[in-house]
Amino acid sequence: MTMWEPFTESARRAIVLAQDVARKYGRGRYIGTQHIVMGVLEIDEGPLLPLFEERDLSLDAYRERLARESREREPGPQELEFTPNAKRLIEGAFVCAHEWKTSYIAAEHLVAALAMLPKCNAARYLIELGFDVQSLATAMRGQLTSAPAKRVRTPRVGSLRRAYELEKLTDANVGSDPVAWLKVWIADVAAADLIEPNAMSLSTVDENGQPSSRMVLLRGFDERGLVFFTSYLSRKGAHLAHNPQAALLLWWGELARQVRIEGTIEQISEEESDYYFASRPRDHQLSAWASEQSEPLESRAALERRVDDYRVRFEGEPVPRPHSWGGYRLQPQRIEFWQGGKNRLHDRFEFVKDGAQWRVQRLSP
């Protein structure tokens, strides 16, 4: 369930939508095969939707069925989990891809895998609608093997559009504690199994007021703030030494969410930095010694030679943390949650620290 690299964007999107369907109709209990099929039906240019339209089948009827079935069950835990059949369906997509000699997992593979699970909820429902799941699998294979190559055209940037129609943020579900809500969103991201879900943009300002941004990885988060690691002698380190004010931006496009965080920066304790450094892979530890981050580098070969030199130097012993490398913690003073909304009516909630409390207000999109 962690091998997401070969998934096409449409297949990945179908799984993300399945999670959203599970929250909406399954009361946050589990992700089943019906949720995955509903996700496939809702993606743009999905392979199953034309077959529904040919038979004049209503997606609203499918949604009503999911809602009705969820009402008949007891609500479960808040954490979403894949049912055994849903896991088998995704594994079946890998089997289909292997048998059809494709190097990727497409939404068509997810649909075709239903033929391997004829007694699962989604397959049974499609059979009730008059589909033959074996013929459906054959049709999906035909779509992948006979479709003509599409001409790739570079669109004008100004014409790019995307409809945001996932969850909504309301005063009731956001609450009054932004730290608690951020934990909820980070848990959602972990469940969605996105690529680099902890990547965030860090913006700093130099002594001349020139801003600079770069991507770093979130490595810790609690009520005290958000932690990342870097070289204290890097460009960002120099900026923070001069002006310990910074901004972070987390963006999860698949979920149509972003979080903007502004606040003050402090170095974490040496003990905390030592603990994290010791948990890193050994080659990453050696890289921290070899790289004089942000400084001019004569060649790639020179950098690799320095890594080899430090590998010899520390052979047979633990690699200590360089004193010039460690963690920073951004202590939030302002946190804004953004959830993409239909027709650009996005939901935005701003939390501003006021002493020990947070003030919250809704912002216009």
Compute CA 195 distance to the chain's CA centroid, rounded to the nearest angstrom.
Answer: 6
Compute CA 138 distance to the chain's CA centroid, rounded to the nearest angstrom.
Answer: 32
Catalytic one among 68, 214, 305, 344?
A: 344
227 within 8 A of 268, measured Cβ to Cβ: yes
103 within 8 A of 5, measured Cβ to Cβ: no
**Three-state SS letters, the chain:** CCCCCCECHHHHHHHHHHHHHHHHHCCCCCECHHHHHHHHHHCCCCCCHHHHHHCCCCHHHHHHHHHHHHHCCCCCCCCCCECHHHHHHHHHHHHHHHHCCCCCECHHHHHHHHHHCCCCHHHHHHHHCCCCHHHHHHHHHHHHHHCCCCCCCCCCHHHCCCCCCCCCCCHHHHCCCHHHHHHHHHHHHHHHCCCCCCEEEEEEECCCCCEEEEEEECCEEECCEEEEEEECCCHHHHHHHHCCEEEEEEEEHHHCEEEEEEEEEEECCHHHHHHHHHHCCHHHHHHHHHCCCCCCCCCHHHHHHHHHHHHHHCCCCCCCCCCCEEEEEEEEEEEEEEECCHHHCCEEEEEEEECCEEEEEEECC
Q: Is 309 left (phi over 0), alpha (psi -120 to 50) or beta?
A: alpha
257 is catalytic: no
Residues labelled catalytic: 344
